[in-house]
Copies of this chain bind each other. A is one copy, B any other.
Amino acid sequence: MAVSMDDDVPLILTLDESGSNTSAPNEQLDREDLPNENGGSYDIVNDVSSPATGDYHSQQRSARHNWEMNYQEAAIYLQEGENNDKFFTHPKNAKALAAYLFVHNHLFYLMELITALLLLLLSLCEAPAVPILRLGIYIHATLELFALVVVVFELSMKMRWMGFYTYIRHKRTMVKTCVLLVQFVEAIVVLVRQTSHVRITRALRCIFLVDCRYCGAVRRNLRQIFQSLPPFIDILLLLLFFMVIFAILGFYLFSSNHSDPYFNTLENSLVNLFVLLTTSNFPDVMMPSYSRNPWSCVFFIVYLSIELYFIMNLLLAVVFDTFSDIEKRKFKSLLLHKRTAIQHAYRLLVSKQRPSGISFKQFEGLMRFYKPRMCARERYLTFKALNQSNTTLVSLKDFYNFYEVVGLKWKAKRNREHWFDDLPRTAFLIFKGINILVKSRAFQYAMYTVVAVNGIWILIQTFMLQGGNFFPRDVPWSYIVFLTIYGVELLLKTTGLGPIEYLSSGWNLFDFSVTLFAFLGLLALAFNMEPFYFIVVLRPLQLLRLFKLKKRYRNVLDTMFELFPRMASLGLTLLIFYYSFAIVGMEFFSGVVYPNCCNTSTVADAYRWVNNTVGNKTVVEEGYYYLNNFDNILNSFVTLFELTVVNDWYIIMEGVTSQTSHWSRLYFMIFYIVTMVVMTIIVAFILEAFVFRMNYTRKNQGSEEDNGIVLEKEIAKEEMAGVIELYRRNCAASEIAPLLKVIAQMDKYEQTSMLFLGRRSRTKSDLSMKMYEEEIQEWYEEHSRKEEYQWQEDVFPSGNRMLSSGLRQRSQTVT
């Protein structure tokens, strides 16, 4: 009993050893709800101060080893919960664990990312290459082979971690493997033949990027797009159906008009109505028939009203609806996944002696694996924050808040309000004055006025210019005046608020950078550095500060910043589609379009390039559209962006079609539909995010301004001493130093305890938690009912395939 009291034994391993005890661990927990025998003070102090004997030492070492394994596995569970990794890829034995640790590592992630990027960037140098980046076939094929070999290495490490069986069942990895094989074969073929063949498979390279750990957001977006597809396709069919009906109708009505090139065959009729859906050939497509019979406009008006103004909006509505539904379900599944992860981790951290909770010692062991860089003080504070009952143990219910609490950044609550509180009296008064001035409304409005005047000044100044190169040789005085004002403001604010507080506000950061840019612009002007003149032009961005004035703008801009990461990932997703289409476009259409290429087509004008000499003046008549080509990947990207914007895209399509075959249109149409999907998702996303936020503010009206999540915890001196004692036994001195500093600080201010503030910004997940508060309880109940069912299954031999068998295997191989 003395041993079991002094040195905890993990609950799970014991279960494994005893063997006979097959009841579900959770039930066990409920039944063995023993009181904490130590009572009062923290475990950690008592645990380590007990005397040690020889036999006890070896026992202790084995127990400690078991604990270490449990800590690590619990940390892995928590990581899996956080990253939404499915538990069936959980490492099952020591070898797998080693591979897991190797694979889940920022260095490894970075390697993944770099190889993926290298593969993608190779397209810059391959066959239809960007001129200045062209590389020899040997060079780029070798580079490619090298990158592919690295990918093979990565995949083999993954297979080691997952095991062959799981590896095969993991779809994404299997697809990646197949693509890898194809790429390998093709790269070797290129090397052998010493010439590039049509390699459309290069379009699949983006899979390597998508599979990167850092591109989780892109994967989520793709999943969401695919989930939104079924309803999307339904409505798309409706759209196409009406298009076909109108195409037949248009063909019958207008093909008798020989001056109408748009409806002379059913195919043309279809293609032109498809283009009309994007409105990019309107009103031209209507004009020949309109000039013959004014009433023919009814056909086009009805078509556009149905297709563009009704069904297209319906499409958005359906996608938006699916999207918000998916968002909610995703939130739910993620929440429950995290909960399960926490349960798994909890089981591993609970000791046999005190099965009702986790002691700090165990928690500290977990955190050493989960967040190695967290300092001892923060670990203890996190533990205290979790521990809402204020006993020595964290119960499962408390532990459920793990993810919410672990992200908090802890700081000692300052005793002084301003940074200058410790300065001598005179300095203090000066700075205090500045502080009051800077925080006053008058100062703020004065600055707004200056900004507004500056904006009007710039506008008038620009309006007075009449073209040409306007950058003055001398620096204009107005520039200097305004910049001086901004500089003084910056100085006052920094000194008045202290640099840290000043820069902690996003708006101040913005002010700062704009002023900095203006200063750089001044330097550029003063020293005549022409290439940097564009900086001067950024001055009007100062005007953005005016938008602070109104609440709606603050709201909108805040939402904008909140949306930014998600928007960026959506943009990246779009870029990945671009990449694939760019590769396909380059393979088929590179070099197809050039000046005066399409003289036989209906869009010849746009591709014309004529150098007329009229009298003694050379007049260049230029259509410019030959610039929108697929000659290299950069050009392709620009062309694809033009296709995305949709206006006049049919000129590009017809140009290419007239030089190749009319099947090329398929490429453009498919691209249009794909971008339509992605764009609709983007719109739905912005809508959803914005409406969600508005609903949230409406629901929580009257509550305090949004400052993120803040938690306050107090630590007494004795507690601190206890923690230090624990660390002194177990760890290196480096960990103890910050703790001692805290004690020193307490001594300095003669306090018996110290207040700490934990702070983090509010995430979408927090908002959702609050929005769905009631439903979440239902989900939990439903989930725990299912859970129970699963626990019960675990009792039967067939039930404990995955988790417990994994555990058992590992404990056998390690101990």
A144-152, A426-434, A465-473 - interface stretch: A465-473
Q: Does A463 contact B (CB under 8 A)?
A: yes
B residues in contact with A679, CB < 8 Å: 309
B residues in contact with A279, CB < 8 Å: 645-647
Q: Which of A321, A468, A635 has the most CB of B within 10 A?
A: A321
Given A231-B552, A283-B642, A627-B291, A690 and B647 contact (CB-CB distance below 8 Å) = no
Q: Does A475 contact B (CB under 8 A)?
A: no
Question: A291–B552 Cα gap in the complex (Å)?
Answer: 41
Q: How far is the CB of A789 from chain B (nearest CB, A)?
A: 23
Chain B, residue nearest A306 (CB): B560
Question: A465–B238 Cα gap in the complex (Å)?
Answer: 25
B residues in contact with A622, CB < 8 Å: 259, 291
Cβ 8 A contact of A682, one of B234, B309, B698: B309
| B290 in contact with A462 (CB, 8 Å) | no
Q: Does A318 contact B (CB under 8 A)?
A: yes
Chain B, residue nearest A567 (CB): B310
Given A283-B645, A645-B282, A244 and B540 contact (CB-CB distance below 8 Å) = yes
| A624 in contact with B287 (CB, 8 Å) | yes
Question: A415–B543 Cα gap in the complex (Å)?
Answer: 77
A61-69, A171-179, A246-254, A585-593 - interface stretch: A246-254
Question: A470–B313 Cα gap in the complex (Å)?
Answer: 35
| B556 in contact with A468 (CB, 8 Å) | no
| A248 in contact with B288 (CB, 8 Å) | no
Question: A646–B642 Cα gap in the complex (Å)?
Answer: 17
B residues in contact with A469, CB < 8 Å: 256
| A540 in contact with B248 (CB, 8 Å) | yes
Q: Does A459 contact B (CB under 8 A)?
A: yes
Q: Does A742 contact B (CB under 8 A)?
A: no
Question: A642–B308 Cα gap in the complex (Å)?
Answer: 13
Given A245-B543, A647-B282, A252 and B537 contact (CB-CB distance below 8 Å) = yes
| A residues 263-301 touching B (CB-CB < 8 Å) | 264-267, 279-284, 287-288, 290-291, 294, 297, 301
Q: Which of A238, A283, A628, A694 has the most CB of B within 10 A?
A: A283
Q: How far is the CB of A461 from chain B (nearest CB, A)?
A: 9
Q: Does A755 contact B (CB under 8 A)?
A: no
Question: A131–B245 Cα gap in the complex (Å)?
Answer: 34
B residues in contact with A686, CB < 8 Å: 310, 313-314, 317
Chain B, residue nearest A255 (CB): B467
Q: How far is the CB of A601 from chain B (nearest CB, A)?
A: 16
Chain B, residue nearest A551 (CB): B234
Given A245-B540, A314-B690, A320-B687, A463 and B288 contact (CB-CB distance below 8 Å) = no
Chain B, residue nearest A298 (CB): B638
| B234 in contact with A552 (CB, 8 Å) | yes
Cβ 8 A contact of A553, one of B238, B560, B624, B694: B238
Q: How far is the CB of A197 from chain B (nearest CB, A)?
A: 28
Q: Does A187 contact B (CB under 8 A)?
A: no
Question: A585–B560 Cα gap in the complex (Å)?
Answer: 39
Q: Quick one: CB contact mask for A592-623 with B, threshold 8 Å, 1 for yes?
A: 00000000000001000000000000001010
Question: A614–B638 Cα gap in the complex (Å)?
Answer: 40
| A251 in contact with B462 (CB, 8 Å) | yes
B residues in contact with A193, CB < 8 Å: none
Given A282-B642, A647-B280, A690 and B318 contact (CB-CB distance below 8 Å) = yes
Q: Does A34 contact B (CB under 8 A)?
A: no
Chain B, residue nearest A247 (CB): B462
Q: How far is the CB of A465 from chain B (nearest CB, A)?
A: 7
B residues in contact with A378, CB < 8 Å: none
Question: A124–B607 Cα gap in the complex (Å)?
Answer: 43
Chain B, residue nearest A288 (CB): B624
Question: A357–B715 Cα gap in the complex (Å)?
Answer: 69
Q: Does A235 contact B (CB under 8 A)?
A: yes
Q: How far is the CB of A313 from chain B (nearest CB, A)?
A: 4
B residues in contact with A153, CB < 8 Å: none
Q: Quick one: CB contact mask for A688-706 with B, threshold 8 Å, 1 for yes?
A: 0011001000100000000
Given A291-B622, A313-B687, A624-B287, A463 and B266 contact (CB-CB distance below 8 Å) = yes
Question: A467–B686 Cα gap in the complex (Å)?
Answer: 46
Q: How far is the CB of A272 from chain B (nearest CB, A)?
A: 13
Cβ 8 A contact of A638, one of B266, B284, B297: B297
Q: Does A241 contact B (CB under 8 A)?
A: yes
Closest 9 A/B residue pairs (Cβ): A287-B624, A317-B690, A279-B647, A313-B686, A255-B467, A283-B642, A245-B540, A321-B694, A252-B537
The 5 sampled A-B contact pairs (Cβ below 8 Å) are A244-B540, A249-B537, A252-B536, A301-B641, A314-B560
